[in-house]
Chains A and B, each alone.
Chain A
Amino acid sequence: MLRIFNKKFLPAVLCGVAVFFAVAAAAVAKVEGLRGEVFSDPAWKQKMPEEWIKQPVQHPKEAGKADLFIVMDQDIYHTLLPLIQKFGKEHNIKIVVKEGTCGIAAGLLAAKGVDMGGFCCAPGKEDRLPGLKFHTMGIVSKAFLINPENPVDNLSTAQLREIYRGKIFKWSEIKIPPAKKGPDLAIKTIGRLHCPKRPGHWRQLLDNEKMFSPRLNEVGSIPDMIAQVAASRDAIGWEVMTMVEKYKGMGKVKALKIDGYSPTDSTALATLRYPFYRTYTLSTWEGKGIENQHAQELVEYMKKEFDKLDADKFGFVSVRRLKEAGWKFRGDELVGEPK
């Protein structure tokens, strides 16, 4: 064995090792190329006019005389609203919470019409307005859903990407242990390509909409997604488990295990063995004239309360657990995955 390390063979061995690492790096790069950004650069700031920077936060009429006006994406709204209401009751303040999307939250923040914004995605570059500070509440696993009649119950991350890229065309190309195949049906891929400029979410699967198969069926809303998966034996879609629970009236769906891990397994998510998730983020204003003390208190309160949620029911991982698992933070904001 030691002969291969003599002078004659050493260059060849080194070349072989180099080739191996090059191929491995190319493979990793290929995977990395498929997976989009998970977080945007926290140091980046959106350029805004001077008069905008000086502009104070002014609530629109619909907020009435609220001590705190918050607009939130529908996902985070559903999860955090009870906690916000509890906070308002405990602190005896009037909080008006408006339900919308990440875009609406970003629009109202850009118009300085709201004290806090709530996002189901990590903030994009365009969301990073001057004076705006982001606070991560935690992450929640994004489940891939299929019809309950479909016998497949586990997919690898690679298989999932191949399905959405249209490389795997039929369920029967998926092997179900022991030695069975999925049904002989063409896979109906369903996607909701929301927030394409923000990192994370569906971009963890494929970076941009052009990577998706032309056969992708796009739906505009969460209930449409769940209804279509529940109605089609050949369908596959995605959504967080809280929304699956909320819209269970739309029909029954089944959450797939990915690489052998269930989306409700919060430990697998914290260690990234389950690789798909959404980032729940709140934003507050920082600076003279735009800061709201209640908003700061609410953020601290929410971080503690989020840690008390039933982690293994919906696949929540709180900030505390993320930090324990080695996720990177800058201030309150989650900015990187563990190595």
Chain B
Amino acid sequence: MNPIHYLLKVRGRISITPKMFMATVAMGIVIWGIQDYVVTNRLREISDTKLREILSQEMQEDRIRFENYLGSYHRKAELLISDRRLIDYVLNRLPARPTGIKHYSESPPWLPEPSVMREIIHIDCAVLLDGKGKVREVYQKWQEPILRSLVEPSDRVIKSSLDQSFLTYLDGVPVLLTSVSIRNSEGGTAATVVFAALMNDDFLISTGGLTEPGKIIGLVTAEKRQKVIASNRPDLISDGIPLDIVEKDYVGTGKPFFDWGTSEVTLQFTSFMPKSEFANLNRSILNTERRQRLVISLVFILSFLAIMVWMTRRIRSLTDHVIRVSDDTLETRFPHLRKGDEFNVLMQEFQHFTSEIVSSREVLEKRVEERTEKLALANRDLQVEIDERKKIENALDENKRLLETVIDKAPVCIKLVSKDGLLIKMNRAGLDMLGAESFEDLAGKSIYPVVSAAYRPAFEKLTQEVFAGTPGTLEFEITGLKGKRRWLHTYAVPLYGDEGRIDALLGTTLDITDRKRAEEALHLTKFSVDHASIGSHLLDRNGRFLYVNDQMCRSLGYTREELLAMSIPDVDPDFPAEVWQESWEELRRRGLLNFETRHRRKDGSTFPVEISANYVEFSGKEYNWAFAQDISKRKAAEEELKQSHDLTRTIMDNMKDAISLIDVRNHTIAGANRMFVEQFGDEAEIMGKPCYAVTHGRDDACCPPDDVCPLAETVRTGNHSSAEHIHLGKGGKKMYVEVSTSPIRDASGTVTHVVHVARDITERKLAEEQITDLNRLLVHKVDELAFFNKELESFSYSVSHDLRAPLRIINSFSQIVAEDQATVLSGESRKLVDSIRNQTERMDELIKALLSLSQVGRQEIHFARLDMEMTAREIFNDLKQMHPERTIQLTVRHVPTARGDAMLIRQVLSNLIENAIKFTSNREKAQIEFEGRIEGNEAVYSIKDNGVGFDMQYAEKLFAPFQRLTSRKEFQGTGLGLSIVQRIIQRHRGRIWAESEPGNGATFWFALPLSDPSPGRGTRA
């Protein structure tokens, strides 16, 4: 057997599960291999990058430490030269003159021991220069030839390395240098020490403590082919080896220069990491990843196998079902495969199954064809019979539909009613008449309740007659189901059954409601016209009366028969026959004419009528149906109204107020009197214009509350309103007006118009403004006056006060002169001195009085209730004691209490009583009377004496300062007492006056308000 055929055969015998298992494994291996290749490379890249980042970070840290070490190199050197041993050697032991350069291979005497040096600083060489810069001693740790540039350092090298770390090339070798000077006692340079460290392996090893153990660091040149010149692991990376060779085994990263500015070398500080470490790390990561992938693959394979086992079982189940159907249903007899590839088995069974179905279908088709032929013959006969029946049925159906349509669509009600009045059937029109939505609302119910009670017996009777075989008709009223009342006319006939018996009443009913209503309306119309209060008549085209109503007869005084024999020219003197024809033509053209004319009664008298003539065509004939209204009363009223209107107009036009009638809907002026027209221009321009445009020159209506508008207020409240306005008259003339508005209402009470009366108050307003201005000026003047008064009082007070001091001195000195020089002075001189003293005392009194007057004006008033009687008695008693030689009597009568300042009123009483005592000094017995009473809002007091009195023609001078009505020689005094009294009374808002006759004594009156004056101006002078 061909091996391929054999393999194919064997393949067919193997179950699908192992085959899919093997295919899955094979596919998995291939995918795994590809994935392994891709993932391994990617992981390697990622880990390489990450490791380089870590290496870079570590390098950064290494570099910072290394640079810090280099930077601090000179500080360590500075620490070293502070060693006393070095200073002592330089200052004391170093030969003054150079004797050649002294070399040390061991630690020189000017440096600490190597063990100490190791801890402080790494140096390969130290050069000691004297103060002149000559190299004197050299210490070199190594055996190699000394660097010439170091033993003969240039000025630039010394200066560049002085007090700082300086990385430079000396003879092509990178060297870290630092120089430190030692000062002598004069401050000069005694010596300079140059420390040098070669940048080689030893240097990096010596800085080993700076890096973590195991770290590899190196210094790489910046040449085109970079070389490693030093490393801390020379056993691994030796000097001079090119970087590209090193990078075969190591990964290196670094920065091409040191970042502090005293390095002249471009060495790259580099951190290295062996690639083997990279490889180990990568391998570890990859192995972990592979193990995870393997586990995932196994899980997938097992999952797939489980699915395959389940699918195989389903396929086998389907195969068994096919076999069962083949054997049991189709009854096939062919051998079945039960083993091997489940798909093959299913396919083979399915092929057998389908071939059996195909053969069965062919047999069935043949049988169906035979049966179909037989059925076709039977069908043909049956079809002929069916067609005949169908024609008959169609005809019947058509008739039935026609009948139903006729009944259903008929505008009349068609109904069947049983003998006892039950409704059997009813068409749509009937249902509508009864107000039913559908027949179900009425089916099986009695029709009688629908019929109005008045017609129900007639309806029942008609029903009985019909069932007795007699058709009949009836007009009756019903109330439908929805309460609507209708008039119906029915024609009822008996409906006979198959046996000749009357089965039902067939009723055909018409809705005659409209007709009934029209008849009723006609009757009502005729009645109304006959009995109308307005005359009505019907005329033909010749003006003959065809109809007249009762009113017409009454108003003309003719009977109806008389009028029907007459024509219009007989009763209307304004319409003779020749005019009637023209009038008829106009009526025909216009259809309606309203006019006034006169009618003549039978007794020959005429009266005015208003005719409303209507042109009417009826049944091809022309008529004039006219109404005649007696307007005698209206005419009389109109005449009366006209007279009234003329009177009103005359009154309005003669009024000084500008009156207008304003339509509130649009604020337009509907009427205006003469004054209004005169104020605002031509009547034609004013009428129909908005009031705000005419009176205020505005474009828009006044808008309360921003604008004051009495019109709006009246419209809003429905009441009278008033306000003051400014109107702009002709030529923009400004007028102050007092506006009052009153509503005019229509029949429903709505305000339709407003009467607007504007009274010109311009003159009054101008006067008021003038008064306001004057008031303002007055207030200003009062303030000004108060200010000046205050200033004046202040001045008076100051002057008076300051004047008293020199007066006292003059008086005192005069007294001294009078007393000390009494024996020396002549009599004339003594008189003069006494006169000086008298005059100064007099002047002092005057000044005191002035001071008092000034204080009265400035003093604040404190109101209180005052016992005037008690005060007067106290004062009188005090004054009386000063004149013990005199007989003085005080009589006090009905003195009411007063409101005022206690101190000031006491001053008033004191001055007046003192005056009374003074001016009665030439009387043997002085009598003083103090009385009082209440008058209105005032308490009025009087102090009367029986003294010398005064002439009333000088009364005006009485209260003026320094004015005297008697000689000073006769009566002592300052002339200010009464001025002070008047000032005090005025400050209390009171009054003071006096009455007297020469030789008959004097009476001084003063009145004080009972209530306190308002605070402010009144409380201060």
Point out the residue from A47, A49, A198, A219 that lies within 8 Å of B261, measured CB to CB. Answer: A198
Closest to B167 in A: A103
Point out the residue from B71, B155, B261 that lies within 8 Å of A218, measured CB to CB. Answer: B71
Interface check B63, CB cutoff 8 A: yes
- A121→B224 CA distance, assembly (Å): 29
CB <8 Å contact, B168 and A107:
yes
Kindly supply a per-residue 1/0 record for chain B positions 232-265, scoring 1 wherever the CB is within 8 Å of any chain A CB and 0 otherwise: 0000000000000000000000001111111111
Q: Point out the residues of chain B lying under 8 angstroms from A47, CB to CB.
A: 154-156
CB <8 Å contact, B266 and A104:
yes
CB <8 Å contact, A62 and B224:
yes
Closest to B257 in A: A100
- A224→B259 CA distance, assembly (Å): 10
Kindly supply a per-residue 1/0 record for chain B positions 65-87, scoring 1 wherever the CB is within 8 Å of any chain A CB and 0 otherwise: 00110010000000000000000
Q: A62-B224, A107-B169 are in contact. Are A46 and B155 (CB under 8 A)?
A: yes
Q: Point out the residues of chain B lying under 8 angstroms from A196, CB to CB.
A: 163-164, 262
CB <8 Å contact, B155 and A101:
no
Closest to B255 in A: A221
B549 to chain A, nearest CB (A): 108
B508 to chain A, nearest CB (A): 107
Point out the residue from A60, A98, A107, A126 that lies within 8 Å of B265, measured CB to CB. Answer: A107
Point out the residue from B63, B160, B163, B264 that lies within 8 Å of A220, measured CB to CB. Answer: B63
Q: Point out the residues of chain A lying under 8 angstroms from B266, CB to CB.
A: 98, 100, 104, 107-108
CB <8 Å contact, B160 and A126:
yes
- Number of B residues near A (Cβ < 8 Å) is 29
CB <8 Å contact, B265 and A104:
yes
Chain B 908-965 interface residues, beta-carbon cutoff 8 Å to A: none
Q: Point out the residues of chain B lying under 8 angstroms from A198, CB to CB.
A: 261
CB <8 Å contact, A220 and B260:
yes
CB <8 Å contact, A222 and B261:
no
Q: A111-B169, A218-B68, A220-B63 are in contact. Are A103 and B155 (CB under 8 A)?
A: no
CB <8 Å contact, A48 and B67:
no
Interface check B159, CB cutoff 8 A: yes
Chain A 25-77 interface residues, beta-carbon cutoff 8 Å to B: 46-49, 60-62, 73-74
Closest to B72 in A: A218
Q: Point out the residues of chain A lying under 8 angstroms from B311, CB to CB.
A: none
Closest to B78 in A: A210
Point out the residue from B63, B222, B260, B264 that lies within 8 Å of A106, measured CB to CB. Answer: B264
CB <8 Å contact, B156 and A195:
no
Kindly supply a per-residue 1/0 record for chain B positions 253-289, scoring 1 wherever the CB is within 8 Å of any chain A CB and 0 otherwise: 0001111111111100000000000000000000000
- A48→B223 CA distance, assembly (Å): 26
- A200→B67 CA distance, assembly (Å): 22
CB <8 Å contact, B64 and A224:
yes
A218 to chain B, nearest CB (A): 7
Interface check A167, CB cutoff 8 A: no
Chain A 177-235 interface residues, beta-carbon cutoff 8 Å to B: 192-198, 218-222, 224
Q: A100-B266, A197-B164, A220-B71 are in contact. Are A61 and B259 (CB under 8 A)?
A: no
Q: Point out the residues of chain A lying under 8 angstroms from B160, CB to CB.
A: 126, 197
Interface check A125, CB cutoff 8 A: yes
CB <8 Å contact, A104 and B263:
yes
CB <8 Å contact, B169 and A103:
no
A203 to chain B, nearest CB (A): 12
Q: Point out the residues of chain B lying under 8 angstroms from A83, CB to CB.
A: none
Closest to B265 in A: A107
CB <8 Å contact, B261 and A73:
yes
B256 to chain A, nearest CB (A): 8
Closest to B225 in A: A61
Closest to A49 in B: B154
Interface of B is mostly: loop
- A98→B265 CA distance, assembly (Å): 13
Chain B 125-184 interface residues, beta-carbon cutoff 8 Å to A: 154-156, 159-160, 163-164, 167-169
Q: A61-B223, A219-B64 are in contact. Are A110 and B262 (CB under 8 A)?
A: no
Interface check A163, CB cutoff 8 A: no
- A108→B264 CA distance, assembly (Å): 7
- A277→B264 CA distance, assembly (Å): 24
A61 to chain B, nearest CB (A): 5
Q: Point out the residues of chain B lying under 8 angstroms from A193, CB to CB.
A: 71, 260
CB <8 Å contact, A101 and B263:
yes
CB <8 Å contact, A61 and B68:
no
Point out the residue from A48, A101, A197 that lies within 8 Å of B259, measured CB to CB. Answer: A101
CB <8 Å contact, B257 and A195:
no
Q: Point out the residues of chain B lying under 8 angstroms from A103, CB to CB.
A: 167, 258, 260-264
Interface size range on A against B = 35 or more
CB <8 Å contact, A222 and B156:
no
CB <8 Å contact, B63 and A110:
no
Point out the residue from B163, B223, B260 that lies within 8 Å of A62, measured CB to CB. Answer: B223
- A224→B223 CA distance, assembly (Å): 27
Kindly supply a per-residue 1/0 record for chain A positions 97-134, scoring 1 wherever the CB is within 8 Å of any chain B CB and 0 otherwise: 01111111011101100000000010001100100000
CB <8 Å contact, A62 and B64:
no
- A107→B174 CA distance, assembly (Å): 12
- A20→B64 CA distance, assembly (Å): 50
CB <8 Å contact, B264 and A195:
no
Chain B 191-218 interface residues, beta-carbon cutoff 8 Å to A: none
- A225→B368 CA distance, assembly (Å): 103
A36 to chain B, nearest CB (A): 13
Point out the residue from A46, A74, A194 that lies within 8 Å of B156, measured CB to CB. Answer: A46
Q: Point out the residues of chain B lying under 8 angstroms from A192, CB to CB.
A: 260
Q: Point out the residues of chain A lying under 8 angstroms from B169, CB to CB.
A: 107, 111
Q: Point out the residues of chain B lying under 8 angstroms from A220, CB to CB.
A: 63-64, 67-68, 71, 258-260
Most buried by A among B160, B256, B261: B261
A240 to chain B, nearest CB (A): 14
- A219→B60 CA distance, assembly (Å): 12
CB <8 Å contact, B260 and A101:
yes
CB <8 Å contact, A125 and B159:
yes
Q: Point out the residues of chain B lying under 8 angstroms from A74, CB to CB.
A: 259
Q: Point out the residues of chain A lying under 8 angstroms from B168, CB to CB.
A: 107
Closest to A194 in B: B261
Q: A48-B154, A48-B156 are in contact. Are A195 and B222 (CB under 8 A)?
A: no
CB <8 Å contact, A194 and B260:
yes
Q: Point out the residues of chain B lying under 8 angstroms from A100, CB to CB.
A: 256-257, 266
Chain A 115-165 interface residues, beta-carbon cutoff 8 Å to B: 121, 125-126, 129
- A222→B260 CA distance, assembly (Å): 10
- A48→B157 CA distance, assembly (Å): 10
- A335→B71 CA distance, assembly (Å): 29
- A116→B259 CA distance, assembly (Å): 20
Q: Point out the residues of chain A lying under 8 angstroms from B164, CB to CB.
A: 196-197
B198 to chain A, nearest CB (A): 17
Chain A 79-106 interface residues, beta-carbon cutoff 8 Å to B: 98-104, 106
A219 to chain B, nearest CB (A): 7
- A74→B68 CA distance, assembly (Å): 19
CB <8 Å contact, B156 and A126:
yes
Q: A61-B223, A224-B64 are in contact. Are A195 and B262 (CB under 8 A)?
A: yes
Q: Point out the residues of chain B lying under 8 angstroms from A108, CB to CB.
A: 264, 266
- A194→B70 CA distance, assembly (Å): 12
B253 to chain A, nearest CB (A): 15
Q: A103-B261, A121-B261 are in contact. Are A110 and B156 (CB under 8 A)?
A: yes
CB <8 Å contact, B154 and A107:
no
A232 to chain B, nearest CB (A): 16
- A193→B68 CA distance, assembly (Å): 11
Please list 15 pairs of residues, one from A and one from B, whose beta carbons are closer than 8 Å in the complex, sorted by A's number: A61-B224, A62-B224, A98-B266, A101-B259, A103-B264, A106-B264, A107-B263, A107-B265, A108-B264, A126-B159, A197-B159, A218-B68, A220-B64, A220-B259, A221-B67
Give the top 3 A-B pairs by smallest Cβ distance, nearest first. A107-B264, A195-B261, A220-B67
Q: Please give 4 more A-B residue pairs, beta carbons under 8 A apart, in addition to A103-B261, A192-B260, A194-B262.
A: A48-B156, A129-B156, A193-B260, A218-B71
On A, residues with C-beta under 8 Å from B are 46-49, 60-62, 73-74, 98-104, 106-108, 110-111, 121, 125-126, 129, 192-198, 218-222, 224
On B, residues with C-beta under 8 Å from A are 63-64, 67-68, 71, 154-156, 159-160, 163-164, 167-169, 222-224, 256-266
